[in-house]
Amino acid sequence: MTGRFLSLKDKEYKDFASRLNQVNEKLNAFNFIDENEKNGKIISVKDNICVKGMPATASSKILQGYVPGFNATAIERLENAGFSVIGKTNMDEFGFGSFGLNSEHPAKNPFNEEYVTGGSSSGSAVSTALIKEHVSVAESTGGSISAPASFCGIVGLTPTYGVISRYGLIDYASSLDKIGFMGKSADNIREVMEKTVGNDPKDTTSLSATISNKKPNKLYVIDNLMAGVNDGIKDRFEGLLTKLSEKDYKIEHIKIDYLEYSVPAYYILSMSEASTNLAKYQGFKYGFKVKDFSLNYNEFFMSARKQFGKEAKRRVILGTFIRSKSIKQKYYEKALAIRHAIIARMNKILKEGFIIMPSMPIFTPKISEVKDISPVEAYSMDMLTVPPNLCGFPHMSFPYFYEKGMPLGAQIITDHFNDYSLLDFLSEWESNFKYKFKEEIS
């Protein structure tokens, strides 16, 4: 099916961009809005995905001034299909964050500006919530699509690892990063996904695979993960399960061993990869340039790398420590073993049905409530989004309830390469649930 998209021409777009700029001054959804005249169906793109001629900063000072001269493969394919990029959306620096606050000017929740958007694809979630008939091309490493989709009341699809090329993505953790989509309808997300899937010789991790839609009627609830979920969230989630059981889904409660280790395994692996991937930012080639060549070796690179934000520095330092010769076997190799054990156990379950759970273990918090929480507390918020990301399984967050005006999202997971079954599930859900999107810009 073909989705509906906001399609603008020339001067229509100029007026639209003006309205978008006014809203953006309050909500910080975009790092860059292109005011040049556009033709075609409009999309936005997360600021760690390269778009030719537009800044690509990953919301980091160290990349200020970097303007790529090429498109990411996903963007190239969408532009060839008649889509136009309107701008680059805000995010946690390099994707490091669950709340959207690790940015110089954090994005604000479109339902209430006092609340967080979720991260790291914070701006993509806000732009999708605000713009009529819109899809934003985003990215997830450990929950960067599901978390903001849940907090901002939209749909977030994270595809199977490898089915969409990562060429042109500013990497965080190469074995975990996945380009995905945020939208408001199954048809819209399906259309952009169909245009972007497929093998890419520029990306050695991309796969050529048939994407299926085998839709099971069994929903598994993982009780040992639900133990860490807020009691209020559990109550609302039980209501969702009741509704789905009325639609002939069979609900089964199970336990999957080792899932309690998914968050520490994820952070060990992702920080290790991040410390390697961020090593290329040295003040020479990308973005921020060190101009004083009289500095000695250490001073030169320190003057560049001090441009990293606090969370980026933390992950580089920890990742470098984890990769050190004396520590690698103790932590890194054990994390790899845990990852493979979790994949095997989840894979067995997903051959039989969907896994369903809340997207986030808490209600959307206020910005003031999370600004001072510890890093470990922040990382623990990923307990539900990390397992499918760690294993590369496709998953989708969708709105299912509104609590005091704020949305709640549930997350559904399926087997590798069965991505379209999630969109079929969403189509069915859309016909039974009334979304409450914010006032839309059109």
Residues annotated catalytic, as ranges: 46, 120, 144
- AA letter at 342: I
The encoded tokens of residue 197 equal 């899937």
Other beta carbons within 10 angstroms of residue 169's beta carbon come to 24
Three-class DSSP category at 135: strand
Is 255 exposed, middle or buried, given 0-12, 13-18 or 19+ CB atoms closer than 10 A?
A: exposed
Q: How far apart are CA 244 and CA 426, in angstroms?
A: 12
Quote the crossing angle between the two packed helices 262-277 and 332-350, to the nearest 10°. 120
How far is Cα 168 from Cα 210, in angstroms, rounded to an integer? 23
Are the beta carbons of 87 and 30 closer than 8 angstroms? yes
Q: Answer yes or no: are the C-beta atoms of 406 and 112 closer than 8 Å.
A: yes
Cβ neighbours of 302 (radius 10 Å): 13
Task: Identify the CA nearest to 181 among candidates 240, 133, 213, 138.
Answer: 138
Q: Is 248 exposed, middle or buried (0-12, 13-18, 19+ CB in 10 A)?
A: exposed
Determine the 3-state secondary structure of 221 from DSSP.
strand
- What lies within 8 Å, CB to CB, of 199 at 6+ separation is 165, 206, 207, 208
> 158 exposed, middle or buried (CB, 10 Å; 0-12, 13-18, 19+)?
buried
Q: Could you tell me if 78 and 165 are in contact, meaning their C-beta atoms sit under 8 angstroms apart?
A: no
Q: CB count, 10 Å around CB of 34? A: 19
Q: Which helix (H) or strand (E) holds 390?
A: helix 386-391
- Strand, coil or helix: 99: coil
Cβ proximity of 95 and 59 under 8 Å: no
Identify the bridge partners of residue 37 per DSSP, sorted by sequence position: none
Identity (one letter) of the amino acid at 408?
L
Residue showing tokens 């997830």: 140
CB 412, CB 427: distance < 8 Å: no
**Comparing C-alpha atoms, which of 46, 140, 127 is closest to residue 395?**
140
